[in-house]
Amino acid sequence: MIVREPLDEEFHRNLADQIAEIEKQRLDSAGTDGVVVIQVKGDVSASIPQDARAIGDLLLCFDAFDKKGLRTRILPQMSGVLTALRLGGRRDYKFRSLAEGSYLTTLNGEIVHSFSIEGGSVGMYVSSPLNKAELERVSEDISLIMKAGNLERVARLYTQSLNQATDNYRSFIAAWSSLEILVGKIFPVYHELLAAELRKVSQAPGLHAYLDRIMLVMGGKHNLADKFAVISMFLDDESKPEEIKTFRKLKDVRDRLSHGEELPEDSLPTTEVQRLFDKYLRNHLRHGA
């Protein structure tokens, strides 16, 4: 970035032309799809260089703050928003990066644009607008995801499978890994609920002793499909009898890949995995567990 001193007479007009060109390029990139703009506000440590350049009501400088570190810090919020859009919207949204940027506002209200070699950008696409009810639901889901701290990394991994720039193989692996981790994390919650409900069936000492023994013997020995079966008792609100079979089928695909079998990339059931993940994360969060 080179700005002459004093400014050329044509500077402001040229700047306006360049901004208009960038806006046009972004509109062309967006096409007819909806655009999600994620704004994250907060405090950040910054050091504005002495040679910062004032142009109009802006300050321009280099490396006033760690942009890469800031991006890493806000990734959980970004992942939460995108995952909530999947959970609360009526479509299976996919996303692709359009643009990103960051700027500072000083205590005096000055706007600071800091540049660095490692510029970045994020802004995400959805395929259609959300209605009022969906916006309210998404807002609630964002809050739920942000509060579910132990699931933040799962949501971050899951959003990798929603990126349209990712090939189907990697999308499938990311989606399945997210589902597998989710099942492992929430299984203990529903295993305890199941045991508690069974104990309510009868106060017979024999039943309670049997359940205690099962808990002791099976501790840590449940396989993934068994864990999913337990979770589905509470989170499969549609009570689909074939859902456990679907899970086993998807796991078989993952197992075949992990054993080195060559499967056509376009045959990988990524969408089915994503829909299962959406459903079980959504229902778990809204279950209040």
Query: In whole angstroms, what is the distance from residue 253 CA to residue 263 CA?
Result: 9
Query: In whole angstroms, what is the distance from residue 120 CA to residue 232 CA?
Result: 41
Rg of the Cα trace of the chain?
25
Residues whose CB is less than 8 angstroms from the CB of residue 14 and which lie 6 or more positions away in sequence, other chains included: 8
Query: 0.85 cut: is pTM over it?
Result: no
Residues whose CB is less than 8 angstroms from the CB of residue 233 and which lie 6 or more positions away in sequence, other chains included: 190, 194
With both helix axes pointing from N to C terminus, report the angle between 270-287 and 224-235 in degrees, rounded to the nearest 10. Answer: 50
Query: In whole angstroms, what is the distance from residue 178 CA to residue 156 CA?
Result: 9
- pLDDT of 120 reads 39
Highest mean pLDDT among 18-27, 120-129, 141-150, 260-269: 260-269
Residues whose CB is less than 8 angstroms from the CB of residue 189 and which lie 6 or more positions away in sequence, other chains included: 289
- pLDDT of 6 reads 55
Mean pLDDT value across the chain = 80
**Is the model's pLDDT at 184 over the cut of 80?**
yes
- pLDDT of 271 reads 93
pLDDT digits (tens, 9 = 90+) for 56-90: 777 888 888 888 788 778 877 888 888 887 888 76
pLDDT digits (tens, 9 = 90+) for 139-176: 888 888 888 778 888 988 999 898 877 889 999 999 99
pLDDT digits (tens, 9 = 90+) for 215-237: 766 666 788 999 999 999 999 88
**Is the model's pLDDT at 126 over the cut of 50?**
no
- pLDDT of 53 reads 78
- pLDDT of 196 reads 83
Mean pLDDT of 251-256: 94
**Is the model's pLDDT at 128 over the cut of 60?**
no
Mean pLDDT of 193-208: 78
